[in-house]
Amino acid sequence: MRQDIRLGTFDGIEVGLNWSVVVILALFAWELAAYVLPVRPGHVSAADWIAGVVGAVVLLLSVLAHEFAHAIVARRNDVKVRSVTLFVFGGISQLEGEAHTPGADFRIAAVGPATSAALAGVFGALEAILVVAGGHGLPVAVLSWLWQINLLLAVFNLIPGAPLDGGRVLRAALWRRWGDRGRASVAAAHAGRGIGGVLIALGVLAFVGTGSVVGLWPALIGFFVFTAAGAEERYTRVQEAMETLTAAEVMTDRPLTVLSGAPVTGVADYLWQNRADAAAVTNEAGQLIGAVTAHAVHAALGGHRSAATAADLTIPLSAIPIARPDEPMGTLLDRIMSSGGNPALVLDADGRQLVGLVTTADIERAAAFGIAGRQTQRVGSSQPPVDGGPGIL
């Protein structure tokens, strides 16, 4: 999940928001201020709006606590955490790798709903204390809404289907029973697709029956669950296909290399002529500084950035997986996905010379056709190769 708004780094974990969070934050604030809090519906005061915004922000922090709970437990179970990103349907903790045992998988998954349930208990207790002390009005109403929605989040996330936390719990249970993580992951994904389909149907029926767009919310959530479950199943099958391969067997040999100062139009032509998905980027001294993807080049041209250069679109080395030819593809696949799908640069055993490049397209092709020991030869330019590549643009 892309981070459009970066909040910072906490304990080594990047925290950010997707733009969709701004939309959901506004919707929740509006729902609170216009429908939940007013004493007289239709008469919204400035205090109602302030309380609505405060409640929506606290809910956002509650979701962040849910995701950080996943991250903390993942670390304690020897799984590295790259980032936490909040988006319209909740949050995603981006893990570098997978749990090593069914027990660890269960603990990482279960702690999220447990955190939401605990927060519901805290907000509920605060509401009760305020009521006993004679409190009333907006503070009590906001606390009541917060404990109810946190409890709803806890219960919803326990539904046994990927990508929900309940799907992870189901996967852990099936993994322990069958002893096969891949098979368990596929089963959890199938359950998620079924649940997504049910939610879509319920949403459509609610919309048809009431005519209210509010009824479409279950359908939107169901669509997200359905598509995410399908993506998890595909990823699991790709992982299984990669288990017996190394980076050398999947990578594009002699990858294209472009100079950082090359114009984006020239890079686009060069990638198209060679049918390449990405190219390594070097500076004028021939030093490797990163990689550029065909997607980024096309986006730049579509955004009327024809004056840009390869340097403007380069993914820096710090954000790119660096691999050796003998690295297992199962491990490299996790690192590529953790980087957001950035291509991996494959260096020789000494770590000096570029010998290959692995993109998600390479991985998909290898998984689809079961190709091992692939000997891909690109048509290079007439210029001499640099760092093992077929040429520099």
The set of catalytic residues is: 67
Taken in order 149, 154, 160, 163, is the CA torsion positive or negative? positive
The residue among 61, 62, 81 whose CA lies nearest residue 72 is: 81
Cα Rg, the chain, nearest whole Å: 25
Phi, psi of 303, deg, nearest 5: -90, 15
Pairing of strands 322-323, 315-316: unpaired
Question: CA separation (Å) from 191 to 84, 154, 197, 263, 391?
Answer: 25, 18, 10, 48, 49
Phi, psi of 370, deg, nearest 5: 65, 40
Q: What is the Cα–Cα distance from 323 to 343, expressed in whole angstroms? A: 11
Tokens 């029926």 -> residue: 205
Other Cβ atoms within 10 Å of 324 Cβ, number: 16
Strand intervals (E) in 230-314: 252-253, 257-259, 278-282, 288-293
